[in-house]
Amino acid sequence: MHSLMRQFVRVATASTLAIVFMIPQDSLAQSHVVSLAELQGAAVAATQARERNIETLRAFVSSPVAEKALKSAHVDSQHVKNAVSRLNDQELAQLAARASKAQADFAAGSLSDRDLIIIILAVVALVLIIVAVR
């Protein structure tokens, strides 16, 4: 009886292994693999978004109102522009969104010069603090 059971287990194990090795491994792995083109596309998109955000912040800090605010606060605008590139992607995206919103609000007339100067100085202070902490 034991030998019959052993033989059954051996046959079942051999059959299972044969079936497993007959299935092409590539067909199982295809659904989990990210193609090289997708990886490159994601990397290019991330790089372009970062460059856009850096340019948005640098333009914000380079505006005449910002230059005036930085001079009155005795902050070198070039130092701030250099510090912007040292921010990580998330911080950069958040600050660029805030800068874009502030510029749009100012252009629409819902912000005064004084409000914009306060926002500019807050963004500059935040950039310098983040860079100094690293």
Q: pLDDT tens digits for 89-121?
A: 998 999 899 888 888 887 788 778 788 788 888
Positive or negative: CA dihedral 36, 37, 42, 48: positive
Residue 24: CB atoms within 10 A of its CB come to 9
Task: Give residue-wise pLDDT tens across range 41-88.
Answer: 989 999 999 999 999 988 888 888 888 888 888 888 888 888 888 889
| 28, pLDDT greater than 60 | no
For residue 19, the model assigns a pLDDT of 76
Nearest-angstrom CA–CA distance, 124 and 118: 10
For residue 83, the model assigns a pLDDT of 86
For residue 108, the model assigns a pLDDT of 80
Report yes or no: 49 and 94 within 8 Å, Cβ to Cβ.
no
Domain ranges of the chain: 38-133
Report yes or no: 127 and 80 within 8 Å, Cβ to Cβ.
yes
